[in-house]
Amino acid sequence: MNEQDLIKKAASGDAEAFGRLIEPYERPVYNFCRRVLGDGYDAEDVSQEVFIKIYRSIGGYTDRRAGSFKNWVYRIANNACIDELRKRKARPVAESLDETYESDEGESVRQFESPELPPEEAVLKKERQKIIADAIRNLAPEFKRVIILRDVRGFSYEDIAQMTGMKIGTVKSKISRARVNLKEQIQKKYV
């Protein structure tokens, strides 16, 4: 059964179809929320909220011109992360981006592991990636989300615009400004 058929069945109340529809999105949405929020527990709560929101509004999806279902899912996830960040504005994030994660395919992986490299190069690469991860963590939330969507998750500018509700020019501008900010942070701290 294709995605559109699953959407129609889920919209008519078929819980099994809904489960099959969202299954491929569970890990990617959790991983996205974890990277944006920086906390596994919050990411778990927010990703559950995302799927509850999808369940409640799936009937409206078929009538929308929301683009692909995937973009619609990430738009809801993005908005849920924004809401969570607003709730905890004053609470600092303490998280290591060099932890073991469950990949979108369900495998446990270390984010910065490079087994194919000689040990010295792997250590240098890990240090560079840690520097970049620290800089991303220090970005303002509006920049962090777009950088993660573009440079970590690999979405196109058009997809990000659809997910965030921004115009493509705004998305490109925010990504450009985020990259400049990352570069300045790295140069200031490490050069």
Range 114-191 classified under CATH 3.40.50.10490: no
Domain ranges of the chain: 1-93+101-109, 114-191
**CA 186 to CA 36: how far, in whole Å?**
20
- Residue 101 pairs in a beta bridge with 109
- pTM of the model as a whole: 0.62
Confidence label for 141 from pLDDT (cuts 50, 70 and 90): confident
C-alpha 113/C-alpha 5 separation (Å) is 39
Task: For residue 102, give the DSSP letter.
Answer: E
Quickly count helices (H) and strands (E) in the chain. Answer: 8, 2
**CATH class in words for 1-93+101-109:** mainly alpha
Q: How many residues does the chain have?
A: 191
Per-residue confidence at 139, pLDDT binned at 50, 70, 90?
A: confident
84: left (phi over 0), alpha (psi -120 to 50) or beta: alpha
- pLDDT, tens only, 11-63: 888 889 999 999 999 999 999 998 888 878 888 999 999 999 999 888 888 65
Task: Kindly indicate the confidence band of residue 153, based on its pLDDT and cuts at 50, 70 and 90.
Answer: confident
Residue 85 structure tokens: 């960040």
Exposure letters 61-91 (e unless 16+ CB within 10 A, then b): beeeebeebbbbbbbbbbebbeebbeeeeee
In this prediction, residue 103 has a pLDDT band, given cuts at 50, 70 and 90, of low
The answer, yes or no, to whether residue 90 has pLDDT greater than 50, is no
Contacts of 84 (CB under 8 A, 6+ apart): 37, 42, 45, 46
Least confident span in 10-14, 81-85, 118-122: 118-122
Two domains, one topology: 1-93+101-109 and 114-191 = no
